C-alpha cells in the first residue's frame, strides 16, 4: 500500500505538470527574464553602484579636509557631520538624475539625464569659453 507522503508527492508532481502545460495546444510554458536597465553596473551594499561609490569617495575628500580643520579646533562632531554631508552630495551626484519637468529652463533641457553628465558638459562648455559650434549642411542648388 502507498504511504500517505508518497501519495501527496505524486499529486504535487501531477499538479506541477498540469500547471506547466497550457490548455491550448499543450505547449510547455516558458519563463523569461525581465530586462532591467543596469547599464552594466553591479551593485555594492545594495545601494552603491561603482559610479556612485566613486563619487561618494570623491565627495568625502573635502569632508575629511573639513573634519581635520574642525578637529584641530577641538570640534569633532561638526567635522563628522561635514564629512557625511559631502559624501551624501557626492552620492546624489553619482546616483540621481535631473527631474524631467517643464517649470525651469535647466530641467526642461536636461530632464532625465544623470547629474554628473550635466556637470561634465557644463565644465566643458566653460572651458571652451562659452562657445557652441553648430555645423550646418550647405544646400546646393541644381539649376
Q: Which residue has the higher pLDDT, 81 or 140?
A: 81
Highest mean pLDDT among 13-17, 41-45, 88-92: 88-92
Rg (CA), the chain: 29
CB 70, CB 85: distance < 8 Å: no
The confidence score (pLDDT) of residue 24 equals 44
Least confident of 9-18, 59-68, 120-129: 9-18
Check residue 75 and report its DSSP letter: -
Q: Which residue has the higher pLDDT, 6 or 1?
A: 6
CB 56, CB 94: distance < 8 Å: yes
Q: For the whole model, what pTM was predicted?
A: 0.57
Amino acid at each position: 500500500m502507498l504511504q500517505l507522503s508518497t501519495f501527496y508527492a505524486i499529486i504535487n508532481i501531477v499538479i506541477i505538470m498540469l500547471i506547466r502545460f497550457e490548455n491550448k495546444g499543450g505547449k510547455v510554458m516558458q519563463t523569461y527574464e525581465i530586462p532591467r536597465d543596469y547599464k552594466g553596473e553591479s551593485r555594492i551594499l545594495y545601494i552603491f553602484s561603482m559610479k556612485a561609490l566613486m563619487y561618494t569617495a570623491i565627495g568625502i575628500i573635502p569632508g575629511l579636509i573639513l573634519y581635520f580643520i574642525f578637529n584641530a579646533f577641538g570640534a569633532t562632531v561638526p567635522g563628522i557631520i561635514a564629512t557625511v554631508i559631502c559624501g551624501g552630495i557626492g552620492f546624489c551626484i553619482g546616483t540621481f538624475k535631473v527631474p524631467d519637468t517643464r517649470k525651469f529652463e535647466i530641467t526642461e533641457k536636461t530632464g532625465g539625464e544623470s547629474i554628473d553628465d550635466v556637470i561634465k558638459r557644463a565644465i566643458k562648455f566653460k572651458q571652451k569659453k562659452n562657445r557652441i559650434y553648430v555645423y550646418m549642411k550647405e544646400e546646393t542648388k541644381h539649376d
